[in-house]
Amino acid sequence: MASRQELSAFLASVERRAFKHAFFAVRDDDVALDVVQDAMIRLTEKYADKPPAELPLIFQRILQNLIHDHFRRQKVRNVWTTLLSALRGRRDDEGDSDADPLESIEVEAADAVGGGTESAGDTVEREQILSIIEGEIGRLPRRQREAFLMRYWEEMDVAETAAAMGCSEGSVKTHCSRATHALAAALKARGITP
C-alpha cells in the first residue's frame, strides 16, 4: 500500500507530463487540466491501496480512459448540436459561425530548462524546435501519439505501455515505430536534423 507521502510524491512527479499528454490529445488547456485532475482524484480515491510500483501503470490507464471519455462525450454533444441546429436552422447572427476550433489553439511555449552557459540565440532556437516537435506530436494519430508519449516521455517499457493501452506489445512497437518515423520525416521536411 502506498503511503500518503509516496502517493503525493508520485502525483507531483507525473503532473506536468500528464498535462502535456492530455493537452496533445484534447488540444485545450482547460480540458487537459480537468482530465489530469480527474485522473489524480480517481487514483487517490480508488487505488491508493495499491503498491507504489503499480501506480504509474494504473495512472496512465486512468488518464487514457478519461481522454477517451472526453471524446465520447464530445461526439455525443456534437450529434445533438447538429440535430438541434438542423431543426432550428442556421443562425449566424447568434455567433454560431463556421469557425474552426482548431484555429484558435495556441501552441504552448516550451518550458525553458535552466542553463547558465546557453546563449539567448540558442535558447530561442531550442524553444522553437521544441514547439515544432510538440506540434508534430499533436498531429500524430491518437494511438501512435499515446504509444510514443508513454514509451519515450513517461519512460514506460513495452509491456507497461501495452497494458496501459489495452493492446499487444507488438502493436506498441508498431505504433512507436510509425510515430518516430513520422516525426523524423516531419522534422526533416522543416529542415531540423539531429
Domain end position, chosen among 87, 105, 129 = 87
Residue 65 confidence (pLDDT) above 80 = yes
Helix axis angle for 120-139 and 169-189, nearest 10°, is 130
pTM over 0.75: no
Residue-range definition of the domain harbouring residue 193: 120-194
pLDDT of residue 184: 87
For residues 83-100, average pLDDT? 46
Residue 55 confidence (pLDDT) above 70 = yes
Q: Which has more pLDDT, 39 or 92?
A: 39
Question: Confidence band (pLDDT; 50, 70, 90) for 79?
Answer: low
Q: Are residues 67 and 6 in the same domain?
A: yes
Q: Are residues 72 and 126 in the same domain?
A: no
Grid coordinates representing 190 are 522543416
Nearest CA to 164 among 14, 7, 4? 14
Question: Confidence band (pLDDT; 50, 70, 90) for 118?
Answer: low
Task: Decide: 146 and 175 in contact? Cβ < 8 Å.
Answer: yes
| Lowest-confidence pick of 35-44, 70-79, 110-119, 133-142 | 110-119
Residue 109 lies in a domain: no
Domain end position, chosen among 63, 87, 111 = 87
We report the CATH number of the domain holding residue 42 as 1.10.1740
Of 25-29, 77-81, 113-117, 171-175, highest mean pLDDT: 171-175
Number of domains in the chain: 2
Q: Are residues 133 and 82 in the same domain?
A: no
Residue 37 lies in a domain: yes
Task: Decide: 55 and 43 in contact? Cβ < 8 Å.
Answer: yes
Domain end position, chosen among 65, 87, 109 = 87
Alpha-helical segments (H) within the chain = 4-26, 29-46, 55-88, 120-139, 142-148, 158-165, 169-189
Residue 111 lies in a domain: no
We report the CATH number of the domain holding residue 192 as 1.10.10.10
